[in-house]
Amino acid sequence: MPVADPIANLQTLIRCPSVTPAEGGALAALEAMLLPLGFKVERMVATEPGMPDIENLYARLGTDGPHLMFAGHTDVVPPGDETSWSQPPFAAEIVGGELFGRGAVDMKGGIACFVAAVARNIEQHGAPKGSISFLITGDEEGPAVNGTEKLLKWATEKGETWDACLVGEPTNPDVLGDMIKIGRRGSVSGKVTVFGVQGHAAYPHLADNPVRGLLPLASSLMDPPFDGGTPEFPASNLEVTSIDVGNPATNVIPAKASFAFNIRFNDTWTADTVKAEIVRRLNEAAVKSPLRPDRDPARYEITWAERPSHVFLTRNNALIASLSGAVESVTGKVPKLSTTGGTSDARFIKDYCPVVEFGLVGQTMHMIDERVALADLETLTQIYGTFISRWFDNALLS
């Protein structure tokens, strides 16, 4: 089958300039790959007021269980300065045993390999003893509002259910086979504004400088640590990501000052409990930090980002063992089971079925000259193929 070649699949996908929110022909190309394999393919457009419409794709092969989902995205980040690339970012050129192009690693490469793995399995063993589906969004690199979350809801309302999911994000730090993601930390962002009294810098007794309160409030969120980590997760970590006074005049005490922050938290916390701890720390610091001696505590307000990401950990031993065993069988490496890194669309999928993540080496993702070794594309295809066989064998026995 032509689509059994992951290199050709990836070249086709890269040549579709699907920079979020543009479909760029990528979903159409994927549909053309899946239809000859027997998949029923549906295209769903998600909408939200004030945001661009997003095209998504859902395809299923088979009607019976067990049901394995492969999830991912065809949208990519902008290429940046195209003249800085050694090869055009959407040409999918092969140089020195590597395939160059935006999305090669994140994550059109994973999609290309899974399509090839399914094609080879059908060639060798016939249709799967159950169902395989592709749940592919065009909004992962964007706000993630009109993508996987709405596509899952849409498919569920049509009667779709899944027993397990593999997300093809690039998970390996250095070498293919290094790491499987079995969970993700939660993420909460916010902005704290401290209020003072504007005045002349030469007459501080007539003003209240909010910066005096901002610094101890920000420090209270960064120290002491929120926790020491858990067996599955690293310690929760909060970073102040910006400080803004918005004051162009050096002789004016500002009326307010603000700082933004983000915390990545482990399963010691929920989004609600970590928010409560942040407010507790801020209140305590405000009481201890009046803007000037013998004055009232610092006054502040906090604004939370609208959509926190929730922490999760997958404990499905059959799913993890099927993937880990496939990696070891093909590469000889025992992959580390990890919960590190940022968020992914697995945070939505975990509410519908057990989910793990495994894909290419992520060293060049989002970079100029994003590229993947041809050998890794073949190896990942073999891993995915072995995983498919092992998962269905294990699922049918359970």
Measure CA 333 to chain center: 25
C-alpha to C-alpha distance for 105 and 282, rounded to whole angstroms: 41
CA nearest to 300, candidates 285, 311, 315, 310: 285
CA nearest to 375, candidates 392, 361, 385: 361
Q: How many CA atoms lie within 13 A of 167 on its CB side?
A: 28
For residue 44, give the 3-state DSSP assignment. Answer: strand
Q: Which two tokens stand for residue 253?
A: 């005490």
Q: Is 223 a catalytic residue?
A: no
Which of the residues 23, 98, 106, 140 is marked catalytic?
140
Which of the residues 5, 23, 55, 75 is marked catalytic?
75
Using DSSP bridges, classify how beta strands 183-184 and 98-100 pair: parallel, antiparallel or unpaired: unpaired
Do you know the residue count of the chain? Answer: 398
C-alpha to C-alpha distance for 181 and 354, rounded to whole angstroms: 12
C-alpha to C-alpha distance for 187 and 263, rounded to whole angstroms: 6
Q: Is 376 a catalytic residue?
A: no
Q: Which two tokens stand for residue 207?
A: 């003003």
Catalytic residue numbers, as ranges: 75, 140
